[in-house]
Structure 1
């Protein structure tokens, strides 16, 4: 899925000039005149790059950035700022924006940031897809298979897991095989890596 490019600014002249600039670069942006309009129409679970004006009536750019972060969205965010709001722009970077641009926007820098933003967004989106896939595999395990999974991750031998659960070692071996098959793991190390991805997570 190719990450979309969104422009969010309450100034129609800015939207028009940025759209014209991006179209000249072969990019077709989707424009919004407010943060709320963006939220009403954009699926935050999809990849994309959002160029947000900081100073907007109603929900401003920082509030929108925080909303995107709270949704654990893979969307990368670039902030737009006018004179006098550099400190605010820096704060936006501290809470997750990729970078900020001063108006009037430098086309080369914007293009470079959009390219980086699309790459990062696509990476994060793919990681989120992997996480969802792993969770689905986990959900397919029975209660007993989950218990065996915890024993495997703890590095316990089959006979130890069998003793702790009070069942035959052969039964543990069958459960272990089912766990590895359902989780699509070729080794315990691969299984552990899957669990670590769920715990750490690459997004936000």
Structure 2
């Protein structure tokens, strides 16, 4: 235990920092979560310093992320370090603001489901990471002879578009080249992939 300061309740110099594990539950998900508290040996009261409160808040943030099937702050940091990029570079690459990954990894902000999937995809599929490094070019040329997985990952976008791209490549004749062009739709404010077989 770490001696901290005077107890704010009784005034005795008997305040110590304790690490406790508390069972938390959220929508059927259960886990022992570590909390830091300051306990007084004299009066038995428990209080939190600002530092402890921040730590406990971040612990609960990770607990809820894990319950929702999202990456925890530690997992995001491991993924980023495995990709060999800094927090600032990751924020530029994936978006979310210049301090996004600092906040994700510290547990101060929870990433969106879309961001979570993008991080996982970039980590699992090198071609998707390279596509992001290239600034997501508007036009991508893919050989039909390449594997469907490689082609789809090169043309990474939302799930529906990936499914359409995959279906189009299956219908194409062997040896042809498919030109995938991302086109904005001004009427509906949506966008889609236009597929033009090479001549």
Q: TM-score interval w.r.t. the shorter chain? A: under 0.3
Q: Which has the higher strand share?
A: 2
Q: Select the structure that is richer in helix.
A: 1
Larger radius of gyration: 2
Q: Which has the higher contact order (CA 8 A, sep 6+)?
A: 1
TM-score, length-scaled by structure 1: 0.25
